[in-house]
Amino acid sequence: MSNFTNEAARLETARQDLATANRILFNQGVVDAFGHVSMRHPERPDQFLLSANMAPATVTPGDVLAFDLQGNLLGNGGQKVYLERFIHAAIYANRPDVLSVVHSHAAAVVPFTIVKSARLRPVCHMGGFLSGIIPNFEIRDHAGMGSDLLIRDITLGQHLAQSLGQSAAVMMRGHGVTVTGGTLRQAVFRAVYTQNNAQIQAAAMALGEVTYLTDAEALAADEANTGQISRAWDFWSSQTQA
Ligand code: MN
């Protein structure tokens, strides 16, 4: 195949994978009518792929659009785009290692963005990637006391990306969470297990004193889990084709 054909094939595979990721995240209860998943463009690191503005469960490969790292829609346009596309744009600009981003309002996670004394921490091996301190982005620091809490421009996106720093995820006070990955599959896996860890941690906190993973345990568990991501992806993916 020519280079052009190879590139076109890789882009088509990326569109299909992104549509599958949207359906997985809906099936796993991470997103509902809101929330989105993106991936860096496979051929153009200064662009990313994200669907048009629609419920994630309805995304098809043909709905996937390309954006630049300022959040501008590329191509002929006309499609309705997500207001919060700047979350993705700013993180890709700030983190060359990030190849995929999931933003959700996962209900199990939001309480940990609201209660100051309750920080999301790894409580089980599947949440190992949550090691270290997961930052909690306070939009009031940048948008004042009367914002709608949404990342509605690139400046707010850049503030969020700075808050994320080198972490795997950033909590967003009163809003949700944004999770990153070195691959699309890893970002999806982490988004699912961020919610899972939050559910387990909240249940444990209600019972009594919680034993958290040590940083060393969390890192070791994360390394072990990274080798198992395809098992989860293949299974979840098969459930989207019913
Ligand atoms: Mn949001």
- pTM of the prediction? 0.96
- Per-residue pLDDT 10s for the chain (242 aa) are 577 789 999 999 999 999 999 999 999 999 999 999 999 999 999 999 999 999 999 999 999 999 999 999 998 778 999 999 999 999 999 999 999 999 999 999 999 999 999 999 999 999 999 999 999 999 999 999 999 999 999 999 999 999 999 999 999 999 999 999 999 999 999 999 999 999 999 999 999 999 999 999 999 999 999 999 999 999 999 999 86
Q: How far is the CA of 159 from the centre of ligand 1 (A)?
A: 15
Handedness of CA 149, 154, 157, 158 (dihedral sign): negative
**CB atoms inside a 10 Å sphere around CB 140:** 12
How many A from CA of 105 to the centre of ligand 1? 6
Residue 144 CA to residue 142 CA, distance in Å, equals 6
CA–centroid distance, 162 to ligand 1, in Å, is: 17
CB 48 within 8 A of CB 66: yes
Q: Which residues are catalytic?
A: 84
pLDDT at site 168: 97
Residue ranges and CATH numbers for the domains of the chain are: 3-234 (3.40.225.10)
> How close is the Cα of 69 to the center of ligand 1, in Å?
18
